[in-house]
Amino acid sequence: MRAQIDITGRLIGAVVHLARQRAPRVVTSHPRSPSPRPIHSRTQILLFAAQSPLSSTESTSSVPMGKRAATVEHSTQSNYEAVTVTHADLDLVVDFSAKTISGTAQLKYEVKRSGCDALILDTRDLAIQEVSVDGAACQFTLASPHKALGSALSIPLPAGAGAGSQGSTRVRFATSPASTALQWLSPAQTAGGEHPYLFTQCQAIHARSLVPCQDTPGAKLTYAARVRVPEVMTALMSAVPVDEPGRTGQESGDGTRTFSFAQQVPIPSYLLALAVGQLESRELGPVSRVYSEPSMVAAGAYEFSETDAFLQAAASVAGPYVWGRYDLLLLPPSFPYGGMENPCLTFVTPTLLAGDRSLANVVAHEIAHSWTGNLVTNASWEHFWLNEGWTMWLERRILAKLYGEARYQLAASLGILRMQAAVTDWGTDHPFTALVPDLSGACHLTGRPCQSWRCGTAATSSGEEPRPLTLAPSLALPRRHRPRRRLFDHPL
């Protein structure tokens, strides 16, 4: 995910502007600044670019890189290690007037440990209406809500369900208007101003307010879905549309249209995603399209025309692309994030529409997540640094393939500078500057301390040859902070 536009893209974009004798203006965001800091002059830009940690005299001797390394997952109440949901089959109806989604989730599960008598799922602000197991109605228990983690849904397993046994449960449910995963936009919040719009944001632990699930990056599942929406709208998900190539959905004759999807690569719950709006699309490449409201789709097709080149560069570094499709959804102007790496369908902000493709590095970043984070996933949110750290490294490798090694060196140098500035700003003993933060307390809702990914980038890049930077000894992971057990659920 990109929470803000990367300074590298803006800086390089500004240098391009300088070369074209156009007035430069670079804006950089600072984590705690009330407003962006503008850099106005050519001199300031070149001074900023010329600063290198190799020549910096700033002391980093007291920078902590983490307090703990054990894999502990605090973000879920589910028993995913004892009973694992392996597949979800979703039937969903989107109701814009009520601001709810209702439907059913048919969940296949596998028992991993004998002696377990229930499947426990995460929910938050969901109305659980009916539950059955292997076709038979059952009594379920919905616990009183935890402020951050929601209400655990306990579903009894058939007697004698030992390790290795499989089954399925069907849950009828409805979301609430208070769902933290669902962002309902009024027509006034869209570019077209005519129709409402819906998009989801499930990272870090919001999927539980969309569907009952095991809401942790430590559990993965495949899914299929059918989504009914108003007839004038298009539904998209983080999956491959089943009705390729038309993608017009199936008319129901009652003013609605149903779209079908399949995600056959196992994903963690935070990568579930849905968007519904009045959308058009343009082809970007053999496996890519850009979707947006009609008024922005041509600009999006121009801005993101390098998408296929990014995909090929990434595959040459990280291996085959396994997700089938890589589409982009350009969201309405009120979309509050830079980008989100939903599989098969990256969400991006229209603030990337610079007109000169200078901010397309955000797309390279989200493409990189197709391998780091989406395919190989951190087993707990405490080790989120592995996700974003490796992704920043791969993003820069993609850009180096296209634009040369100097691009990598510049981006890596600026990244280290930003990390050092952030650590100085927040303080060396602040939890947000820990490489492996303790999320057992108040950090549940975000689950992604803002600086751990920058520290992670430094850690994951430290073995690079040629090394972009020489890390100060204090920035290398001390032995006591090195991982003591497997962190990835697949070998890297």
Extract the annotated binding site for Zn(2+).
Answer: 365, 369, 388
Q: Which two tokens stand for residue 348?
A: 């991006």
Nearer to Zn ion, 133 or 367 (CB): 367
> Taking CB under 5 A as the criterion, which residues in 31-50 touch Zn ion?
none
Strand partners for 345: 327
Tell me if 1 contacts Zn ion by CB under 5 A: yes
Asked whether the beta carbons of 112 and 97 are under 8 A apart, the reply is no
Q: Is beta strand 256-268 parallel, antiparallel or unpaired with respect to 250-251?
A: antiparallel
How far apart (Å, rounded) are the C-alpha atoms in residues 370 and 322? Answer: 8
The stretch near Zn ion (CB under 5 A) out of 1-9, 110-118, 223-231, 397-405 is 1-9
Q: Which two tokens stand for residue 477?
A: 């992971």
Burial of 321 (0-12, 13-18, 19+ CB in 10 A): middle
At how many degrees (to 10) do helices 42-50 and 7-19 cross? 130
Nearer to Zn ion, 24 or 373 (CB): 373
How far apart (Å, rounded) are the C-alpha atoms in residues 304 and 212? Answer: 35
Q: What are phi and psi of 32, to 5 degrees?
A: -120, 10
Shortest reach from residue 397's CB to Zn ion, in Å:
14
- Residue positions counted in the chain: 492
How far apart (Å, rounded) are the C-alpha atoms in residues 345 and 236? Answer: 8
Nearer to Zn ion, 291 or 384 (CB): 384
Q: Site map for Zn ion, 157-196, x if CB under 5 A?
A: ----------------------------------------
Shortest reach from residue 415's CB to Zn ion, in Å:
13
Nearest residue to Zn ion by CB is 1
H and E: helices and strands count for the chain = 8, 23
> Taking CB under 5 A as the criterion, which residues in 82-121 touch Zn ion?
none
Q: Is beta strand 83-95 parallel, antiparallel or unpaired with respect to 220-230?
A: parallel
Shortest reach from residue 323's CB to Zn ion, in Å:
16
Shortest reach from residue 400's CB to Zn ion, in Å:
18
How far apart (Å, rounded) are the C-alpha atoms in residues 53 and 410? Answer: 11
Shortest reach from residue 31's CB to Zn ion, in Å:
16
Shortest reach from residue 330's CB to Zn ion, in Å:
18
Nearer to Zn ion, 336 or 355 (CB): 336
Shortest reach from residue 24's CB to Zn ion, in Å:
27
Shortest reach from residue 2's CB to Zn ion, in Å:
6
Nearer to Zn ion, 206 or 226 (CB): 206
Burial 78-88 (b: 16+ CB within 10 A, else e): bbbebbbbebb
Binders of Zn ion: how many residues, by CB under 5 A? Answer: 3
> Residue 273 CB: number of other CB atoms within 10 A?
28
Question: What does the radius of gyration of the chain's CA atoms come to, in whole angstroms?
Answer: 23
Nearer to Zn ion, 79 or 391 (CB): 391
Shortest reach from residue 391's CB to Zn ion, in Å:
5
In the chain, the amino acid numbered 209 is S
Nearer to Zn ion, 293 or 388 (CB): 388
Nearer to Zn ion, 149 or 386 (CB): 386
Residues that constitute the known binding site: 365, 369, 388
> Taking CB under 5 A as the criterion, which residues in 296-335 touch Zn ion?
none
Nearer to Zn ion, 111 or 412 (CB): 412
Residue 115 backbone zone (phi > 0: left; psi -120 to 50: alpha; other: beta): left
Q: Which two tokens stand for residue 112?
A: 């991993």
Nearer to Zn ion, 261 or 390 (CB): 390
DSSP class of residue 419? H
Burial of 135 (0-12, 13-18, 19+ CB in 10 A): exposed
- How distant is the alpha carbon of residue 407 from its chain centre? 25
Which of 373, 360, 362, 374 lies closest to 324 in space, CA to CA?
Answer: 374
Shortest reach from residue 387's CB to Zn ion, in Å:
7
> Taking CB under 5 A as the criterion, which residues in 340-399 touch Zn ion?
388, 391
What DSSP line would sit under 234-258, residue for residue?
Answer: EEEESSEETTTTT---EE-SSSEEE
Residues that bind Zn ion (CB under 5 A): 1, 388, 391
